[in-house]
């Protein structure tokens, strides 16, 4: 920032005394860099704040907004400078031949800007700040613009007077191109543009390589600064427990965070079946929950009266718009005298009753009844 200030003031002064409009404009450009450096420091400090209640995903959006403002400023400056100097180059009016101090200050600017570029880029990569990295490339374009100025000044000193104005116009166009890229990239971030197909395919490849994962779909990504946020549906064996499905999701999360350092947050949804083409509407008919399902089953127990006193366990599987039910009965060999142990005949009668009842229940799918002893 201090170096940009000295370069800006020096180039403006030298541009005035050496009659080089290109150096003068390059000096204004350097002073604008000083202003943007201050702006970048402020925005970077804000964007690195920890998430809070009002901003649960963090403050990285401030960085994108800041980059849009920075790029917009550069575009406006570029348009003004290009308009003025293209006219001067075409008409050849008000053109004076520059003197040697313009060459010296331009060479100093080239070396300084290249050093600023490398220093700022390393800092941006270390802090994972897109805004700092963008500002580094801004400095690199400043170096290239100074090279253009050097050519223009040298050519004008050799007698091609219009080259100085042409160089100034080229510098303006370079500034405009940088500003346009900054604005466009940041707008894509602000409207939640996802990662490229190549990047999402790489992420999906890691997910489906995990043990227990059958497929992955509805992978959605967005960026906030250099951070990536994603959510994904992971399909697992429909017969695994909820806790096992959750554990598979946790392993997927661990593997992705290790493989892709830019992923800040991952939300996964464990699916028992592929629901990509399922439309969720607030008014659609849903399958009944456990309490209603068990109430229906209890109506069947009445046909085998003493089964209502036996400990039972239910597992419900919501698949293909039906509910598959597993019923586990404990065969208690040490049942009290007033209670008969569950027999295979009881189970056969129960299953027949369930199947008969099931034909009247539209949501009832496959029924499995298990008899076992708890050890």
The secondary structure of 31-74, three-state, reads HHHHHHHHHHHHHHHHHCCCCCCCCCCCCHHHHHHHHHHHHHHH
Greater confidence, 198 or 91?
198
Q: Is the pLDDT of residue 308 over 80?
A: no
Same domain, 206 and 183: no
Predicted pLDDT of residue 277:
63
Q: Is the pLDDT of residue 208 over 80?
A: yes
SS3 for 109?
Answer: helix
Backbone angles phi, psi at 210, to 5 degrees: -75, 145
Predicted pLDDT of residue 84:
72
Out of 134, 159, 190, pick the residue that ends a domain. 190
Q: For residues 368 and 169, give the distance between their C-alpha atoms in angstroms, rounded to a whole number.
A: 81
pLDDT class for 152, splitting at 50, 70, 90? confident
The interaxial angle of helices 130-157 and 60-91, nearest 10 deg, is 10
Q: Where are the alpha helices (DSSP H) in the chain?
A: 2-17, 21-47, 60-91, 100-127, 130-157, 162-190, 197-208, 242-259, 290-301, 344-358
- Least Cα distance to 26 among 86, 138, 103, 109 occurs for 109
Q: Is the pLDDT of residue 334 over 50?
A: no
Predicted pLDDT of residue 249:
96
92-106, 112-126, 148-162, 341-355, range with greatest mean pLDDT = 112-126
Same domain, 21 and 76: yes
Residues 60/224, Cβ–Cβ less than 8 Å: yes
Least confident of 132-136, 172-176, 347-351: 347-351
Predicted pLDDT of residue 374:
62
Predicted pLDDT of residue 31:
73
Least confident of 18-32, 90-104, 326-340: 326-340
Residues 235/271, Cβ–Cβ less than 8 Å: yes
Predicted pLDDT of residue 206:
95
pLDDT tens sequence across 41-72 = 787 777 778 888 888 777 778 878 888 888 88
Q: Is the pLDDT of residue 181 over 50?
A: yes
Predicted pLDDT of residue 339:
54
Same domain, 303 and 327: yes
Same domain, 41 and 117: yes
Predicted pLDDT of residue 64:
83
Strand partners, 270: 234
Q: For residues 314 and 328, give the distance between their C-alpha atoms in angstroms, rounded to a whole number.
A: 6
Same domain, 142 and 224: no
Same domain, 212 and 352: no
Residue 226 CB contacts under 8 Å (≥ 6 apart), including other chains: 60, 128, 129, 130, 262
Mean of pLDDT values over 97-107: 77
The interaxial angle of helices 21-47 and 162-190, nearest 10 deg, is 20
13-27, 135-149, 220-234, 307-321, range with greatest mean pLDDT = 220-234
Strand partners, 327: 314, 369
Predicted pLDDT of residue 142:
75
For the whole prediction, is pTM greater than 0.95? no
Name the domain count of the chain: 3
Using a pLDDT cut of 70, give the percent of the chain over it. Answer: 83
Q: For residues 349 and 354, give the distance between their C-alpha atoms in angstroms, rounded to a whole number.
A: 9
Same domain, 162 and 302: no
CATH code, 217: 3.30.70.1350
Residue with tokens 């116009």: 169
pLDDT tens sequence across 223-282 = 887 789 999 999 999 999 999 999 999 999 999 999 998 898 899 999 998 877 665 554
Interstrand relation of 312-319 and 263-271 (parallel, antiparallel or unpaired): unpaired
Least confident of 197-201, 213-217, 292-296: 292-296
Q: Which residue range forms the structural domain that includes residue 222?
A: 197-271
Predicted pLDDT of residue 246:
95
Same domain, 71 and 205: no
> Within its chain, how far is the Cα of 77 from the centroid?
31
Same domain, 220 and 327: no
Average pLDDT, the chain: 80
CATH code, 88: 1.20.1510.10
Using a pLDDT cut of 90, give the percent of the chain over it. Answer: 19
Same domain, 174 and 210: no
Q: For residues 302 and 66, give the distance between their C-alpha atoms in angstroms, rounded to a whole number.
A: 71
Q: Is there a domain that residue 363 lies in? A: yes
Predicted pLDDT of residue 165:
74
- Least Cα distance to 168 among 73, 83, 70 occurs for 83
Q: Is the pLDDT of residue 160 over 50?
A: yes
Greater confidence, 9 or 259?
259
Predicted pLDDT of residue 333:
44
């Amino acid at each position: 920032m201090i170096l940009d200030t000295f370069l800006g003031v020096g180039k403006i002064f030298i541009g005035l005394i050496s009659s080089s409009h290109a150096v003068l404009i390059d000096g204004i450009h350097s002073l604008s860099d000083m202003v943007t450096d201050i702006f970048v420091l402020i925005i970077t400090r804000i964007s690195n704040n920890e998430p809070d209640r009002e901003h649960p995903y963090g403050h990285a959006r401030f960085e994108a907004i800041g980059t849009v403002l920075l790029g917009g400023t550069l575009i406006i400056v570029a348009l003004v400078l290009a308009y003025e100097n293209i006219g001067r180059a075409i008409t050849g009016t008000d053109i004076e031949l520059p003197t040697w101090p313009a060459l010296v200050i331009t060479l100093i600017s080239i070396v300084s800007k290249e050093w600023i570029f490398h220093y700022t880029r390393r800092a941006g990569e270390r802090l994972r700040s897109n805004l700092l990295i963008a500002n580094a490339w801004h400095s690199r374009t400043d170096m290239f613009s100074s090279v253009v100025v050097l050519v223009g000044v040298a050519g004008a000193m050799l007698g091609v007077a219009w080259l100085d104005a042409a160089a100034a116009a080229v510098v303006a166009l370079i500034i405009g191109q940088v500003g346009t890229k900054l604005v466009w990239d940041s707008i894509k971030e602000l409207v939640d543009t996802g990662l490229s197909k190549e990047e999402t395919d790489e992420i999906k490849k890691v997910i489906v390589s995990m043990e227990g994962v059958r497929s992955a779909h509805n992978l959605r990504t967005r960026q906030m600064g250099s951070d990536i946020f994603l959510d994904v549906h992971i399909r697992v064996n429909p017969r695994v427990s909820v806790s096992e499905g959750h554990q598979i999701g946790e392993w997927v999360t661990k593997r992705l965070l290790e493989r892709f350092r830019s992923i800040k947050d991952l939300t996964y949804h464990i699916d028992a079946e592929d629901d990509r083409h399922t439309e969720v509407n607030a008014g659609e008919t849903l399958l009944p929950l456990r309490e209603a399902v068990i109430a229906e089953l209890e109506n069947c127990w009445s046909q085998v009266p003493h089964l209502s006193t036996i400990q039972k366990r239910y597992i419900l599987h919501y698949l293909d718009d039906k509910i598959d039910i597993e019923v586990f009965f404990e065969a208690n060999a040490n049942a009290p005298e007033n209670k008969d142990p569950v027999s295979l005949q009881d189970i056969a009668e129960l299953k027949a009753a369930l199947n008969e009842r099931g034909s009247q229940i539209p949501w009832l799918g496959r029924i499995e009844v298990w008899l076992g002893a708890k050890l």
